[in-house]
Amino acid sequence: MGFLEELKALLPGRVLTREAELAPYESDALTAYRKRPLAVALPERKEEVVEVVRLCHHYGVPFVARGSGTSLSGGSLPVEGGIVLALNRMNRILKLDPKARIAVVEPGVVNLEVSRQAAPFGLYYAPDPSSQPVSTLGGNVAFNSGGAHCLKYGMTANHVLGLELVTPKGEVVRLGGESLEGVGPDLHGFFVGTEGLLGVAVEITLRLLPKPEAYHTVLAAYPSLEAAGEAVSRVIRAGLLPGAMEIMDRLSIEAAEKAVKAGYPPVEGLLIVELEGPREEVAAEAEVLHRVLEESGALEVRVARGEVERQAIWKGRKAAFSAVGRLSPDYLVQDGVVPRSRLGEALREIGRLSREYGLRVANVFHAGDGNLHPLVLYDGKKPGELERAEALAGEILRLCVRLGGSITGEHGVGVEKKAYLREMFSEADVEAMERVKARLDPKGLANRGKVFDPRMEVAR
């Protein structure tokens, strides 16, 4: 038997090979890039993942693990001549221990489902990417996802305690555990954010947090993006550490209003600040926050009165990415990072680049940690417009590096940012990363072609 015959024998009735079956897996959320996989495998248990990966290793067939496909960097794009390991059926919460405040989950569990299941115990899972209602935790781990509340609570890496992995050779290893206090090297932390290059996570142990006792959510309107960015610096200088600080520009406000009618004012810059914690602490911090916002020149300040109004404010922000589709047939999303102190400078330059390239850019971002999300709007049906959009997106990445930031905050390098890796890291840095990849994946099978040049991934 050949590879496909053995794969079908391993997963009877759960290997997709017809063109119509493969079409939904051709791309992830970065739809400008497409690739047809050889096949899609649908394992339901970790033992099946092990066997499939061992089969790939035996035949030298590359593979990419995929959940809901919400990656915005082409990270879960199919591999040339390889298979997709679609893990959505591995969606069980294996353990939820409210006393230890942990949850053990399979990689296909949707992010928000953990908080839903933990809610009766007064607990929740903190990382909240905008794709939270649909993105799976395996992908969150692969790309070290953040979200609106990462300013105070950190990224996925700060909430993963342990991992069970299948290496590219088909070996099963366990890293970390259930304790908040790790012993030895932080190997599970090393794996988080490696974009599927070092294997497949089949079991994830998460840290849960007590739900905040109180929230204070404020929406402040500004005459410019720069003014909104300066307000962020003022809030931090005042000694406050909000749960979240988000900024949206006029274009993203317009899109959100068309999509979900959040009731946002039509201004150039909108700042959302959310305080959370013990009731007395939040009340005291709210007084400081409102004084800072008054001094920052806000045109309007609204306070959410109750959970319904709070959710309405967040609904518009969470819907911003998908809502931009109402303004443009296509768009590219970047996620470069700049120091908070240089937000205004970065936004001014993005505006200049937008005019220079003749393409609209909608800005919506995690202002608290300087994680920009400029959305470059274009029409892929117009000759040369995709290439112009990619060139503009690349200039934004270079800008972030010049200002002392990073080419990615949470979306990853994938295929989209490969050309810019060496603009941030030295040749020696990249070669060290490539050596690690080659040592752990000598045949270069795991997510081949992502992040690095594929010919550098195979051990010499």
* Three-state secondary structure string covering 94-134: EEEECCCCEEEECCCCEHHHHHHHHHHHCEECCCCCCCCCC
pLDDT of amino acid 179: 86
Give dist(CA 287, CA 351) in Å, integer: 34
What does the angle CA 143 – CA 348 – CA 255 come to, to the nearest 5 degrees?
Answer: 65
| Residue for token pair 């029409």 | 379
Tell me: the pLDDT tens digits for 257-267? 988 888 999 99
For 8-71, the DSSP string reads HHHSTT-EE-SHHHHGGGS--S-TT-----SEEE---SHHHHHHHHHHHHHHT--EEEESS---
Supply the pTM of this predicted model: 0.92
| Helices 3-10 & 46-59 angle (0-180, nearest 10) | 170
Tell me: the pLDDT tens digits for 101-129? 999 999 999 999 999 999 999 999 999 99
Task: Name the nearest CA neighbour of 459 among 451, 445, 449.
Answer: 445
pLDDT of amino acid 177: 92
Bridge partners, 301 (sequence order): 220
Q: Averaged over 170-193, what is the pLDDT?
A: 91
